[in-house]
Structure 1
């Protein structure tokens, strides 16, 4: 499957005193992009919850290359990096237009999620509805 891209226009309140997006907003963007990534693959968050499953973020690594500022248009690229028994990892890249029709990566991230039961039973094996939406792993980042 092709890499999913979620567009974001940087809002004034997301920018800090240094004139760039404050680091916490990146996790919010990745959360929104993850939801839209699943939706684009025919799994709405509501459907997942109604089936008795949710996902919990358990680990995230972010590496910044450069900042983005107020009014900048970026896309959050999302791809499945790994699928395990109860967890999966998604790769994210914040990309900007490089002025020549290409894209420049300003930030890389990998986030690990664990599937949990909404009824409080805890960690669950990844069910087919989630596994199918994730598709085959196609990492954006190398494994180290």
Structure 2
């Protein structure tokens, strides 16, 4: 794990038996499951665990995800998922992620979250505690342009 001031958070895992498909690599849907775990660790690292969000009056909805595969993840391989803030907007933010095996990037992507009120009032401006937890913008993807 990283510290609150770090730009990148790291989550590690080894694929489980049921995550491996008939081609011998991790099935594509499991990547987003591990991204969810990595994002949870990202916010814990930054002092704003998800369990606190409801009491602060906000939550987030996923509005866009993209994945770019370079190589497959195989069973028994230790994988790191790096997460960084790539964009902080008014009502949404983007986190970039990269799956790495022994220093080799095997998958990259980004996930856009819209911030919503827990009172059912739709999207809201990013709350100050969330902006602070997101820190500075820093893309993990080569050639990624901030929007």
* TM-score class, shorter: over 0.9
**Aligned pairs (5 A) from 1:29-108:** 29-97=34-102, 103-108=103-108
Moved over 6 A (4+): none
Q: Aligned Cα RMSD in Å?
A: 1.1
Residue 145 of structure 2 corresponds to: 143
CA distance in 2: counterparts of 1:2 and 1:53, whole angstroms: 23
CA distance in 2: counterparts of 1:123 and 1:72, whole angstroms: 39
Tell me which of 11, 14, 20 is aligned to 1:15. 20
Counting matched residue pairs gives 139
CA distance in 2: counterparts of 1:41 and 1:3, whole angstroms: 10
CA distance in 1: counterparts of 2:118 and 2:7, whole angstroms: 30
CA distance in 1: counterparts of 2:55 and 2:75, whole angstroms: 37
Residue 28 of structure 1 corresponds to: 33
Residue 109 of structure 1 corresponds to: 109
Q: Which has the higher strand share?
A: 1
Unpaired stretches in structure 1, ≥5 consecutive residues? 98-102
C-alpha displacement of 1:32: 1.2
What TM-score, normalized by structure 1, do the two folds share? 0.93
